[in-house]
Structure 1
């Protein structure tokens, strides 16, 4: 099947599509011993490979550094690397004995993805590079991630049409008719050496948080139910339709938690719950959490049977491989065992076929991000922005607050304007001298849009107290390494609070100043909160510039989801930053950053010294 492997997802003849299921027959020669590692014709091994959270990573390239991707663990990224791993597995197991799936978050996250969403949007004539690469590699199905909705449903539908395989989302429903908005699952019939096909059911589950994070794009159009609830509905249906193997592709982390607290009745990360509570599942490809799980075995509480989970990190850094052993007896196939592992993409070269396929698009985007748009009077770095006042976050807050203030009308125009920004990217830096799109884009690596909301002084303090949960205690003054103070574990962040859930708040026309006293208990850490040198009163009113992720409940910050919205033009913050530099030509920290820090970490009122 080597000569036809790239056509696997493109076959349309003999494909039956209904409202709830897509059934595809895969041909395989019925020769004895074709099941990898099995000589008996009634034994068979199926291999299901999986990726997740590709986030626009097609090639092994860091657009912000203008160099091959590298990190402290020397990971590599991209579909070109994945393609090489997939080809190796297919060669080892036999093409006909493998399937390839993805668990979502495909079309957002890199400059490549942004360019083909906003600069030269995909259309009937412009193909998304991720679609081109995934079609060429030969994916069989992909679950939808929450970031698939960032550019709106029409854009997603255009991407969907460009794919040679289905996008799956059993828990996405159309608000107009209550029906499935996407194909919930597929059943693939794989022929085996004994002539008895194995029917492989692949169920796709997306994240309920879409209703919060992309409310502006989906409200009134689609709803997103719980993963457990929808799996419980569809797995029995798949079984009734003959699925011998059930694999779930879930854009939901393994460790149960929700960044949005109780704002939704369904947990954000629920893959383990699905394994425990829904009988009949053999394996789950986990996504969303950007964690590496080679293999985790969870016992289903109803049947006592094991369910194997695997999560291949992110960005194409790993490939999950499920080896599923089956035996045929009394007229049907039975899963005997499932083993999972991950392959590291840094062990192989890029597939030259994929590199060549995307060469023109890659060069177009590289040229775009390296274009000079202004100059900076001095260098600025985000390396320390998590634990000390940094000019780069002041710049983001200045641009955001200025954009909101310019649109305020009536009595709102007289209110003081504040802004929040998070240290998304430790590696972000603005050089002295020429500044490119790439430099500015590196400051804001998410495609968030800007809103303005009204908060009272009491709500501002509560917001900052929530943000201060990011820090671990420091019960005495002194010098602390950053790692001993940041990324505190909380009930909603069992693996540590991520950097993107720590916000710095600043004022536009006057400085907002405060200390974070780490000798104080959580909830009582913000000390000396003042605006323009005057203590902030509980009833004082402010307009706060905030991103859509945060305003819609991401991070579960208090007060924001119900606050009056006074500005929402759906403008992306990264583009606002780029546009500001183009318009002003010069980036001068003296314009937006105070000589003295607006905020600092203290212990008992004494400033702390923090080392990298």
Structure 2
């Protein structure tokens, strides 16, 4: 600690001898008592600092154990799945996440909710996620779901499903008409809530387990009226129709400001981590077969004409 002009400056003890302390607090004496005047922090790059051999030796066994686990093979995949284009087109990678979530919720619905058809919601928040053809490791599967979210099930009406998808469709920028557009020209639209652009994790894709949920997102239509042809099992979704919906805890608690989620009845909540559920699914089934669950259920259009989106 140093006293300068009546103020005490406290640097992080680990960096007290350096001007690059990652925490700096200035306390001032007011009426004989010390109080915090200001505090700041700086992120330091650990890659620029030589490792401490003593600490490295202590954590090496645990580090090697983790590496062995994440690199362990837990199954196989019949076709490669990539999430790189999931923001603007339907992909098997997102359908796989939704399938695992929906199956878990469906298997544990009870009482009046037991007969509900189940939908699932997931966001394409990791463009780098990919499951290779052939052997699949824990690392591969965990990359599909990079957050620690837990799974819930809520009950939604058809009207609420439509409202939810309209909110999700705010992620896209408008287009003047049919044509070919670069992904950057149609995604991450700026909104009042996200003036710097809507993040990928606030765009949700909805999928049906018991039957297909299909819809188009018309980017030539005004925000709030973009979801076209919303159908379940080939029939238009009725406002009063009831569904169980698999959703993560971040979204269900209000993250992203999606309508209806915080007040919807909760029909499933075992507080299980979604990432671990996906790992467990692959471990238990042994084989991931995209053709068995992947169908193109949604697409981007302009005035009814499908758009072509380039990376």
Instruction: Tell whether the structures are fold-level matches, with TM greater than 0.5.
Output: yes
- Residue in structure 1 matched with residue 84 of structure 2 by the alignment: 383
What SS does the corresponding residue of 2:251 show, helix, strand or coil? helix
The answer to whether structure 1 residue 510 and structure 2 residue 211 are counterparts is yes
- Residue in structure 1 matched with residue 287 of structure 2 by the alignment: 586
- Residue in structure 2 matched with residue 200 of structure 1 by the alignment: 27
Once the two structures are superposed, the pairs formed by residues 530-549 of structure 1 within 5 Å of their partners are 530-549=231-250
Cα distance, 1:527 vs structure 2:
0.5
Cα distance change, pair 371–239 in 1 and its aligned pair in 2 (3 A): farther
Please give the alpha-carbon distance, in whole angstroms, between the structure 1 residues aligned to 2:109 and 2:131: 30
What SS does the corresponding residue of 2:151 show, helix, strand or coil? strand
Cα distance, 1:494 vs structure 2:
2.1
- Residue in structure 2 matched with residue 429 of structure 1 by the alignment: 130
- Residue in structure 2 matched with residue 499 of structure 1 by the alignment: 200
The answer to whether structure 1 residue 574 and structure 2 residue 275 are counterparts is yes
- Residue in structure 1 matched with residue 51 of structure 2 by the alignment: 351
The answer to whether structure 1 residue 400 and structure 2 residue 107 are counterparts is no
Contact 2:9 2:27 in 1 (8 A): no
RCO greater where, 1 or 2, for CA within 8 Å and sep 6 or more? Answer: 2
Cα distance, 1:200 vs structure 2:
2.7
Please give the alpha-carbon distance, in whole angstroms, between the structure 2 residues aligned to 1:475 and 1:541: 35
Query: What is the RMSD of the two structures over their aligned residues, measured on CA atoms?
Result: 2.6
Cα distance, 1:45 vs structure 2:
9.3
The answer to whether structure 1 residue 602 and structure 2 residue 297 are counterparts is no
Once the two structures are superposed, the pairs formed by residues 176-195 of structure 1 within 5 Å of their partners are none
- Higher alpha-carbon deviation: 444-453 or 489-498: 489-498
What SS does the corresponding residue of 1:571 show, helix, strand or coil? coil
Once the two structures are superposed, the pairs formed by residues 85-100 of structure 1 within 5 Å of their partners are 90-93=16-19, 100=22
Once the two structures are superposed, the pairs formed by residues 142-541 of structure 1 within 5 Å of their partners are 200=27, 239=30, 242-243=33-34, 246-248=37-39, 284-285=40-41, 318-319=43-44, 348-353=48-53, 354-541=55-242
Contact 2:172 2:187 in 1 (8 A): yes
Cα distance change, pair 357–481 in 1 and its aligned pair in 2 (3 A): farther
- What are the Cα deviations for residues 457-492 of structure 1, in whole angstroms up to 9, with x where unaligned? 010000001111111111211111111111111111
Please give the alpha-carbon distance, in whole angstroms, between the structure 2 residues aligned to 1:530 and 1:407: 25
Contact 2:27 2:34 in 1 (8 A): yes
Cα distance change, pair 445–350 in 1 and its aligned pair in 2 (3 A): farther
- Residue in structure 2 matched with residue 209 of structure 1 by the alignment: none
Q: How many residues align?
A: 310
Cα distance change, pair 43–406 in 1 and its aligned pair in 2 (3 A): closer
Please give the alpha-carbon distance, in whole angstroms, between the structure 1 residues aligned to 2:171 and 2:30: 45
- Residue in structure 2 matched with residue 558 of structure 1 by the alignment: 259
The normalised TM-score by structure 2 is 0.91
Contact 2:158 2:242 in 1 (8 A): yes
Cα distance change, pair 42–524 in 1 and its aligned pair in 2 (3 A): closer
Please give the alpha-carbon distance, in whole angstroms, between the structure 2 residues aligned to 1:411 and 1:92: 64
For structure 2, the residue ranges without an aligned partner over 5 or more in a row are none
Cα distance change, pair 366–521 in 1 and its aligned pair in 2 (3 A): same
What SS does the corresponding residue of 1:570 show, helix, strand or coil? coil
Cα distance, 1:440 vs structure 2:
0.8
Contact 1:371 1:437 in 2 (8 A): yes
Please give the alpha-carbon distance, in whole angstroms, between the structure 2 residues aligned to 1:611 and 1:47: 52
- What are the Cα deviations for residues 170-208 of structure 1, in whole angstroms up to 9, with x where unaligned? xxxxxxxxxxxxxxxxxx8xxxxxxxxxx637xxxxxxx
Cα distance change, pair 92–553 in 1 and its aligned pair in 2 (3 A): closer
